[in-house]
Amino acid sequence: MSIRLSGVTIEGGLGELSAEHQRLQKRLASGRIPASELFAAARELEAAYARAGYVLMRVVLPAQNLNDGGKLRILIVNGYVERLDLSALPENVRGRVESVLRPLVGKRELRLADIERRLVIAGDTPGVALRSALSPGAEPGATVLVVSAGYRPVTGSVGYDNTLSSALGRSTVSTGLEVNSVLGWGETFYLRAAGHPSGNDNSGFGGLFDSYPRMRTLSGGAVIPLGIDGLTLNLEATESRTAPKPPFGLPQTASQFERYSARLRYPWLRSRTLSFASELIFDAEEERIDLFLPGLKLPLSLDRLRVLRAAADGSMLLPTGGVLSGRAILSAGLKAFGARTAADASPLLPLSRFGADADFRKFEAILSLAQPLAEHLGVAFMARGQTSFNQALPRAEQIGTASFQELSTFDAGTLGGDSGWVLRGEVNSPWSTSFAGVPMSATPYAFAATGALYLVHPTAVEQATTHVTSVGLGVRLAATLDPSFSQASLSLEYGRRFRDDRIPNDNRFTMVGSIRF
């Protein structure tokens, strides 16, 4: 069955897709065509609307009598979300999710990006694993957005690693606890604790619960949503204490670091494949280092900083299946709000670094890429750097590159500089299986990392420029205990470190494990 049309009338639709309208009109009025072509053209126009982001638009052929020489009538229905079905949501989070999604209801010309943004922001509600689907509404073009979720009011984690130096006890145990959305605001309150599990050394130093532990970090805070468009306020307090075991014959030192932070964050782009956000951060920091002699405690240095930071970060799911992410931070130390400046320091109580001041500037950036190449082959790259603009920085603001994600064969926290950079590359081979119904994975990898650290005013026992390198092999093991909330992971790594200062090269075995619940 075929027909010859004199023209095509399109009712409704959007002007920005007029070229697609004209293409369809020309296609159907170009001569005798099979009747099946009418439906194919309508489907392709609907697909063009979907590609432009209008996934709720529908292209229909209403009932009509057509003869040779007649005009075809096509109707474009401007789809919309008729209502939300939130009946399957737990009560604690229903109000928050509804407030985030409510702007979608009744809005015409909805784009996929608008729907995704609202769904992802709703899914960011702490303790929630959101699921959504569309079902037909009561009216033509109407859609019901059906939302359900798993919810845990309390989540947490435990962990263990041996990334510390021997002076700090080598091993660390950690735990975390989050209380999620119990007030119905979409808020979370959290606590974190980490430390070396030991008793004191009979001189009052080293005990995890003592005043001078080998290493102990405590932090707590809250993340509170402001409005329904993703803006959040994060308030946090952190205290860290260390008392490294001194070399034989040398006196004991101890440090105490405190930080109080306020972070305002807004996601400018938020979807499943692309995100970009910015942060405005204010940190109030204090670090004190003391020297202990028999019966005597002497202050070595005292920093009191007030730092304003502007940050931006983003991530992108690439068409090749890889993930590209990055973050940049510009920090400015302020001579205000109680900051301790170089003018306030004295020979008896200096700042932590010679030539440093509370008024400083620094810029830090990080870029990472994880890319699968084949079913069991992938690569990962990371680059991070910091410049202090040729200024000496207080100790807490220096760049540190000794971490398990970077120069992992060095003891954590032992590499620092006013400026510096690090590059790391990895080749990995991911494998997946299942045991007793639990999905598991093993990813062997080989890595190499290199970097440099620069001190603006090195002391007589420091090196102005230090080059460092790590190479090694490892394996990452993981088990998904609950797809939404519970995972277990264990990383094992062996490698060698190289450096061009007075400290010898050495080998290192590292283990990092955690369980989230």
The pLDDT profile of the chain, 517 residues, written as one tens digit per residue, is: 889 999 999 999 999 999 999 999 999 998 999 999 999 999 999 999 999 999 999 999 999 999 999 999 999 999 999 999 999 999 999 999 999 999 999 999 999 999 999 999 999 999 999 999 999 999 989 999 999 999 999 999 999 999 999 999 999 999 999 999 999 999 999 999 999 999 888 788 999 999 999 999 999 999 999 999 999 999 999 999 999 999 988 999 999 999 999 999 999 999 999 999 999 999 999 999 999 998 899 999 999 999 999 999 999 999 999 999 999 999 999 999 999 999 999 999 999 999 999 999 999 999 999 999 999 999 999 999 999 999 999 999 999 999 999 999 999 999 999 999 999 999 999 999 999 999 999 999 999 999 999 999 999 999 999 999 999 999 999 999 998 899 999 999 999 999 999 899 999 999 999 999 9
Using alpha carbons, list the distances in angstroms from residue 213 to 141, 255, 352: 65, 10, 21
Q: Which CATH class is domain 80-151?
A: alpha beta
pLDDT tens per residue across span 118-161:
999 999 999 999 999 999 999 989 999 999 999 999 999 999 99
Q: Is 453 left (phi over 0), alpha (psi -120 to 50) or beta?
A: beta
C-alpha 464: how far from its chain's center?
33
Do domains 2-77 and 80-151 share one topology? The answer is yes
DSSP state string for 139-189: STTEEEEEEEEEE-SEEEEEEEE--S-GGGTS-EEEEEEEEESTTSSS-EE
On whether the CB atoms of residues 214 and 245 are closer than 8 A, the answer is: yes
What is the rounded distance in angstroms from the CA atom of residue 42 to the CA atom of residue 288? 72
- The answer to whether 284 touches 306, Cβ cutoff 8 Å, is yes
In this prediction, residue 495 carries a pLDDT of 99
So where are the chain's domains?
Answer: 2-77, 80-151
Are the C-beta atoms of 183 and 224 separated by less than 8 Å?
A: no
Q: What angle do CA 271, 277, 282 make, to 5 degrees?
A: 150
Q: Which of 332, 335, 362, 345 is nearest to 303 (CA)?
A: 345
Q: How far apart are CA 221 and CA 177, in angstroms?
A: 11
Instruction: Report the Cα 212 to chain-centroid distance in Å.
Output: 33
Half-sphere exposure at residue 329, Cβ-oriented, CA atoms within 13 angstroms: 20
Instruction: Write out the CATH class of domain 2-77.
Output: alpha beta
Regarding pTM above 0.85, the answer is yes
Rounded distance between C-alpha atoms, residue 160 and residue 173, angstroms? 5
The answer to whether 389 touches 357, Cβ cutoff 8 Å, is no
